[in-house]
Chain A
Amino acid sequence: MAAIRKKGGKETPAISTASLPDIIFILLFFFMVATVMRETELKVNIKPAKATELQKLQKKSLVSYIYIGQPTRIYQEKFGTAPVVQLNDVIYQIVDSDGSTNSNVSEVRRFIVNERSKLPEKQQKSLTTSLRVDRGVKMGIVTDVKQELRKVAAYKVNYSAVPRTDW
């Protein structure tokens, strides 16, 4: 009896928080390693298309991105509302003789050649271009970009998409 009473009277010891920093540090390191800092600021709106037969892109260093979509609201004043091509941080546009603006797709060629020259010679052939295109964009501009890619022999293309669960 005495033993039991003694037990009941004992206060529960406070949980030691000494290891808390260690736990947090482990989490911190995990996120530091897993983090990919967003290199480019998106200046176009992109709602990705949905698909089921998705494949992961193998090597991130071999991938260059081309964004196609409507400029975000801040940039609409400058670039209008028609879909544009964004390479790295820049939206390329040319002004036609009649004053209308068009996406300057020929910049794609220079962009790819530039990206390719950054890679070691052995890997240059395996450069993959990931097209991140808004689902509402018309195929016209995408076809133009694809033509440019074919001209510089960048045949490996990934149509970026997100998983679809139903119809």
Chain B
Amino acid sequence: MAKGKRKLQEINASSMADIAFLLLIFFLVTTTMDIDKGLITLLPPISEEEPPPPDKANQRNVLDILVNKNDQLLVKGDLMDVTELKELAKTHVNNNDVDPRYSKSPQDAIVSLKNDRGTSYEVYITVQNELKAAYNELRDEYAINNFGVKYSDLQKVNQKKVRNVFPLRISEAEPENY
């Protein structure tokens, strides 16, 4: 009789925290919070046709960059440090027919990038990054002057407008067999 009258014993929940802690630690350890970030680019489609020979009159529009296997930069025929590339790219693109050495207009400007098979990936990324930085700065300046906000804060339609003013065109030379 006494047995039947006894209240049901409550389950001790004090170890619940420990169990939860264990699980928590497991997930903490296995978590990789790596949000993948990087430079997003579009590769050009493969075309069988030979590229058109460079036009002498349009040569000024091309900012050609060569990177050799010793990771040295040759920009428009001159040796250059990677840190100066951004400023040069900006002057080149945003020249607007002022200096005959640089591009006619931002829409005409093209960057031609050629690298050796021995170039290190780090330098390649740095060059790509500097070019992108140059264009991003130009787009930002243009957006602030015309719309009052930064490029990234613009609406999609306006972003496209700005992109059309400063189209990023990097042409990478077809790899050659050495």
Does more than half of chain A's interface fall in helix, strand or loop, or is it mixed?
mixed
Q: Residue on B with the closest CB to A163?
A: B37
Which positions in A face B, CB cutoff 8 Å? 17, 20-21, 24-25, 27-28, 31-32, 34-38, 49-57, 60, 63, 128, 130-131, 133-140, 142-144, 146-147, 149-151, 153-163, 167
- CB neighbours (8 Å) of A157 from chain B are 40-43
Q: Of residues 17 to 41 in B, which have CB atoms within 8 Å of A's CB atoms?
A: 17, 20-21, 23-24, 27-28, 30-41
A55 touches B43 (CB 8 A): no
A167 CA to B33 CA, complexed, in Å: 26
B38 touches A54 (CB 8 A): yes
- CB neighbours (8 Å) of A131 from chain B are 38
Which positions in B face A, CB cutoff 8 Å? 13, 16-17, 20-21, 23-24, 27-28, 30-46, 69, 83, 115-122, 124-126, 128-129, 132-133, 136, 175
Given the known A-B contacts A37-B30, A147-B175, are A135 and B120 also in contact in the complex, defined by CB atoms under 8 Å?
Answer: yes
Given the known A-B contacts A21-B17, A158-B39, A161-B37, are A31 and B46 also in contact in the complex, defined by CB atoms under 8 Å?
Answer: no
Does more than half of chain B's interface fall in helix, strand or loop, or is it mixed?
mixed
- CB neighbours (8 Å) of A159 from chain B are 38-39, 41, 125, 128
Q: Residue on B with the closest CB to A31?
A: B27
- CB neighbours (8 Å) of A139 from chain B are 115-121, 124
